[in-house]
Amino acid sequence: MVAGAGAAAWVGARVANRPWTRAAAMTVAVWNPFAVERLLQGQWSLALAAWLLPAVALCRGPAQLLAICGASLTPTGGLFALITSLSTTRRTPILFSLSACLPWVIPAVLNAGAGTGPGTASAASAAAFAPRAETFTGTLGALVGMGGIWNADAVPASRSAGFAVAGIVLFVVLCLAWRHVPRRLLALAACGFAVPLVSWLLPGAMAWLVATIPGAGLLRDAQKFVAFALPAFVVAAARLDRVDLRLPAVALLLAVAQVPDAPRAVAALAPVHVAVPDVDHRGRDVFFDSRPHLLTRPSDDAPIVDPATKAMNVVESGELIVDGVRVDEPSPRWRAATDIFGTTPRPELPSDADLTVQLYYSDPQVALVVHPDGTVEDTGYPARALPRTGIALLVLWFLLPLVAFAPCLRRSSRHRSPQM
- Report the alpha-carbon distance of residue 119 to residue 224 in Å, rounded: 18
Note the pLDDT of residue 420.
39
Question: What are the sequence ranges of the domains in the chain?
Answer: 2-269, 286-378
Output the tens digit of pLDDT for each of the chain's 420 residues.
889 999 999 999 999 999 999 999 999 999 999 999 999 998 999 999 999 999 999 998 889 999 999 999 999 999 999 999 998 886 668 888 888 999 988 888 877 655 445 567 888 888 999 999 999 999 999 999 999 999 998 999 999 999 999 999 999 999 999 999 999 999 999 999 999 999 999 999 999 999 888 888 889 999 999 999 999 999 999 999 999 999 999 999 999 999 999 999 998 888 878 888 889 898 899 999 988 888 887 777 777 888 888 889 999 888 888 877 888 888 888 888 888 888 766 555 544 455 556 667 667 789 999 998 889 999 888 888 888 888 999 999 999 888 877 766 566 555 554 443
- The per-residue b/e assignment along 84-110, b for 16 or more CB within 10 angstroms, e otherwise, is bbebbbeeebeebbebbbbbbbebbee
> By CB neighbour count within 10 A (0-12 exposed, 13-18 middle, 19+ buried), where does 180 fall?
middle
CA 356 to each of CA 219, 234, 319, 332: distance values in angstroms, whole numbers, following the listed order: 25, 48, 16, 6
Note the pLDDT of residue 323.
79
DSSP tag of 180: G
Angle formed by the axes of helices 183-201 and 75-88, to 10°?
Answer: 140
- Report the alpha-carbon distance of residue 88 to residue 239 in Å, rounded: 19
- The per-residue b/e assignment along 231-259, b for 16 or more CB within 10 angstroms, e otherwise, is bbbbbbbbbbbebeeebbebbbebbebbb
**Whose CA is closest to 87, among 177, 175, 181, 191?**
191
3-state secondary structure of 200: helix
Phi first, then psi, for residue 181 (nearest 5°) are: -105, 130
Alpha carbon 251 to chain centroid distance? 27
- Report the alpha-carbon distance of residue 256 to residue 80 in Å, rounded: 26
Angle formed by the axes of helices 230-238 and 247-257, to 10°?
Answer: 140
